[in-house]
């Protein structure tokens, strides 16, 4: 059991700081709380505008940026081995001290200006004011909302600190270099940034959502015998759009072959229902797609229908994070009838992607750590057999990175023997692009993925913001987000 001292503001501490203390206690840490009277308060204009925005978005629950009445001071029962400075300006100490920097600033509220400007933050966990021992690049899901963006960043500050504390306790902290010069720690500039950049962005998004569907994906397919996207790094030509009627969309395509015939499985999202089912698109002998038909429906949303053959059976591992668990299905009658075979994992797991490697089975996925985005925190699990049991990787979370945490398709084994994982790049927002990361190290103690190589969205595919890539034989599939106007109510009723 680790003995930790946590330094928080004496006045108006924030919920993210209270959340860290709560999570440490859940991990059986002995936690002391010290108050720091000199902690810089959040600017009044910042508190006011974030509060107004949260009401605009009908967020009535307490957010991580919300002030809490107090965090009572208390002592530990044993001498502390680590100190967490959550104010950024605690007095020096001979106890090893961790703090988090928000785009090189020590004060948490400075991140609001970054988010208001539309910029993307980087967080650093720093040991003793000198050594960087952890980094995070949080995903901001709704760029138009500064208040929600600040929540996303603070959520990953919690994730980062807790993961670094675990690494400290286990003696596996990594030296990532020394800190650079600090940026502005004051609250200056937020109001100007909000009025000049955030408010117009919010207005533009409101107008866009009034005119267009919030999200409408389209699936593309092509038959190609030579090198595909993974080999060339570009989309190229020859794509055909899987048609839809506008009241539903298709996304997350996975291709398989059965008895020499290609099949395409997709997320089938009905706008009016607000959730998706899984459908299959069979192809005829002349490579013509037949109409999609539903093959799996649950009370909750389903997507990412990863279909694969193993041990003479077809299996499906769809994303069902809304259910709070990851369920494996077995084909009772391929391709139309699927039955639950096992619950592999509990939690809000997204886009779990299977890999058979080194004598073990592995699942690469993202997991929402209580708050924040579902797309920026990678976790890995290992098992000896498909039905499990599945074990957490010792280094979870593997990384916090909006560019490469969330899988965007099945692993690809190149002709040169490299293992490539399509990864979603959230730099431009969810579905903003796709890259290819090489798996360069994987064992029970280590997972290493290269920086992603972006896929160039050139050629004849009309929707360059892609987030899925898969291939089976000559059938290659992608998807992209399209701007589809909303239908007038009279049209929907007719």
Q: What confidence tens digit (pLDDT) does each residue in 438-459 have?
A: 999 999 999 999 999 999 999 9
Residue 205 has pLDDT above 60, yes or no: yes
For 414-423, what is each residue's pLDDT tens digit?
A: 888 899 999 9
Q: What is the mean pLDDT of the chain?
A: 94
- Cβ neighbors of 335 (< 8 A, separation 6 or more) are 258, 263, 265, 280, 282, 295, 314
Residues 111-121 have a mean pLDDT of 95
Tell me how far apart the alpha carbons of residues 141 and 128 are, in angstroms, rounded to a whole number.
Answer: 32
* pLDDT at residue number 164: 98
pLDDT at 285: 92
* 3-class state of residue 418 by DSSP: coil
The CA distances from residue 15 to 27, 42, 161, in Å, are: 18, 13, 15
- For residue 491, the model assigns a pLDDT of 43
**Positions of CATH 3.40.50.170 in the chain:** 3-209
**Owner of token pair 């090893």:** 96
Q: What is the pLDDT of residue 367?
A: 97
- CA 400-403-406 angle, to 5 degrees, is 70
Class (C level, CATH) for 3-209 = alpha beta
Residue 44 CB-density burial (10 A; 0-12 exposed, 13-18 middle, 19+ buried): exposed
Q: State mean pLDDT over 181-209.
A: 87
Instruction: Say whether pLDDT at 493 is over 70.
Output: no
Under 8 Å between Cβ of 292 and 270: no
Q: DSSP of 430-458, one letter per residue? A: TTS-EEEEEEEEEETTEEEEPPPEEPB--
Q: Measured between alpha carbons, how far is residue 336 from residues 331, 442, 470, 482 in Å? A: 8, 35, 21, 28
Question: H or E element: which one contains 366?
Answer: strand 360-367
Rounded Cα–Cα distance for residues 17 and 265 (Å): 43
Cβ atoms < 10 Å from Cβ of 172: 12
Kindly indicate the confidence band of residue 488, based on its pLDDT and cuts at 50, 70 and 90: low
What mean pLDDT do residues 83-107 have? 94
* Mean pLDDT calculated for residue range 360-372: 96
**Where in the sequence of the chain do the CATH 2.115.10 domains occur?**
215-304+349-493
Convert 259-327 into a string of H (helix), E (strand) and C (coil): CCEEEEEEEEEECCCCEEEEEEEEECCCCCECCCEEEECCCCCCEEEEEEEECCEEEEEEECHHHCEEE
Q: How confident is the model at residue 29 (pLDDT cuts 50, 70, 90)?
A: very high
The Cα 230–Cα 474 span in angstroms is 13
Residue 313 has pLDDT above 90, yes or no: yes
Q: Which residue has the tokens 């979603």?
A: 424
Q: Which helix (H) or strand (E) holds 238?
A: none
Provide the edge-to-edge strand list for the sheet that holds 475-481.
240-241, 217-223, 475-481, 466-472
Lowest average pLDDT, out of 66-80, 147-161, 227-241, 382-396, goes to: 66-80
What long-range pairs does 278-281 form, CB within 8 A, spacing at least 24?
278/302, 278/303, 278/305, 278/316, 278/318, 278/338, 279/250, 280/335, 280/336, 281/242
Q: What share of the chain is helix, strand, coil (3-state, %, to 5)?
A: 20, 40, 45
Whether the predicted model's global pTM rises above the 0.85 cut: yes
Q: What class does CATH assign to 215-304+349-493?
A: mainly beta
Residue 492 has pLDDT above 60, yes or no: no
CA distances from 225 to 87, 236, 448, 472 (A): 58, 14, 31, 11
For residue 385, how many other CB atoms are within 10 A of its CB?
10
Strand partners, 470: 477
Q: Is the peptide bond before 335 cis (omega within 30 degrees of 0)?
A: yes
């Amino acid at each position: 059991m680790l003995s930790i001292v946590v330094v928080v503001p004496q006045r108006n501490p924030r919920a993210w700081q209270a959340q860290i203390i709560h999570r440490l206690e859940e991990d059986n840490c002995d936690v002391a709380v010290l108050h720091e009277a000199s902690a810089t308060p959040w600017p009044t204009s910042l508190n006011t505008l974030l509060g107004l925005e949260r009401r605009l978005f009908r967020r009535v629950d307490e957010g991580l940026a919300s002030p809490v009445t107090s965090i009572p001071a208390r002592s530990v029962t044993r001498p502390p081995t680590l100190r967490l400075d959550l104010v950024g300006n605690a007095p020096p100490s001979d106890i090893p001290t961790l703090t988090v920097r928000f785009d090189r600033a020590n004060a948490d509220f400075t991140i609001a200006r970054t988010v208001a400007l539309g910029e993307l933050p980087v967080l650093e966990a720093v040991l003793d004011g000198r050594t960087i021992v952890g980094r995070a690049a949080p995903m901001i899901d709704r760029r138009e909302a500064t208040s929600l963006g600040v929540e996303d960043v603070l959520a990953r500050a919690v994730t980062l600190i807790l993961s670094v504390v675990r690494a400290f306790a286990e003696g596996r902290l990594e030296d990532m270099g020394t800190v650079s010069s600090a940026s502005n720690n004051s609250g200056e500039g937020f109001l100007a940034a909000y009025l000049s950049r955030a408010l117009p962005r919010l207005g533009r998004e409101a107008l866009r959502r009034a005119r267009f569907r919030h999200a409408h994906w389209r699936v593309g397919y092509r038959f190609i015998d030579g090198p595909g996207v993974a080999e060339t790094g570009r989309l190229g030509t020859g794509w055909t759009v899987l048609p839809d009627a506008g009241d539903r969309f298709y996304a997350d395509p996975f291709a398989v072959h059965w008895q020499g015939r290609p099949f395409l499985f997709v997320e089938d999202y009905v706008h009016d229902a607000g959730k998706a089912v899984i459908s299959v698109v069979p192809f005829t002998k002349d490579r013509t797609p037949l109409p999609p038909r539903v093959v799996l429906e649950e009370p909750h949303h389903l997507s990412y229908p990863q279909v694969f053959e193993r041990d003479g059976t077809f299996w499906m591992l769809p994303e069902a994070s809304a259910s709070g668990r990851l369920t494996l299905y077995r084909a009772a009658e391929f391709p139309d009838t699927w039955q639950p075979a096992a619950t592999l994992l509990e939690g809000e797991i997204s886009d779990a992607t299977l890999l058979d490697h080194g004598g073990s089975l592995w699942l690469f996925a993202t997991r929402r750590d209580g708050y924040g985005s579902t797309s920026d925190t990678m976790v890995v699990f290992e098992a000896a057999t498909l039905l499990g049991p599945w074990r957490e990787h010792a280094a979870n979370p593997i990384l916090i990175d909006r560019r490469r945490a969330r899988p965007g398709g099945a692993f690809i084994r190149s002709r040169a023997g490299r293992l490539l994982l399509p990864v979603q790049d959230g730099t431009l927002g969810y579905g903003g692009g796709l890259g290819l990361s090489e798996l360069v190290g994987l064992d029970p103690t280590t997972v290493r993925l290269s920086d992603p190589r972006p896929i160039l969205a050139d050629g004849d595919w009309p929707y360059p913001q892609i987030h899925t890539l898969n291939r089976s034989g000559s059938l290659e599939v992608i998807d992209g987000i399209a701007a589809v106007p909303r239908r007038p109510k009279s049209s929907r009723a007719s």
